[in-house]
Amino acid sequence: MTPDYQKDYEVIPFNKDSVLNQQAIEAFMAKYISKPFEYLENVVGVEINFNKIFFKPEAQHSVEDVLKEIAALEEELKQLDEAIAL
């Protein structure tokens, strides 16, 4: 058996008309699926990414505050460097 290097996926175009949609699915199944297939549930699902729809960005710090924090950290690093210098 040879390894499969391609992704395995199917794309069946969705049609709003349920009859045409079912015909497209059946045509795909007849063309590509050789084993018997049974519908367990006739459910059409949609995945909703709530992070995209309901995303609320957090307020960012001002540039001045960030620069003050950097200056304070640089001063602290300078003091630590002086403390460990031999």
In sequence order, what are the residues at sequence separation of 6 or more whose Cβ sits closer than 8 angstroms to the Cβ of residue 25? 12
The pTM for the full model equals 0.34
Per residue in 4-60, pLDDT (tens digit) is 555 556 677 788 898 998 898 888 888 877 777 666 666 666 677 676 667 777 889
Pairwise CA distance, residues 13 & 24, whole Å: 8
Residue labelled with tokens 């996926």:
9
Contact between residue 15 and residue 21 where contact means Cβ atoms under 8 Å apart: yes
Domain boundaries, given as residue ranges, for the chain: 18-85
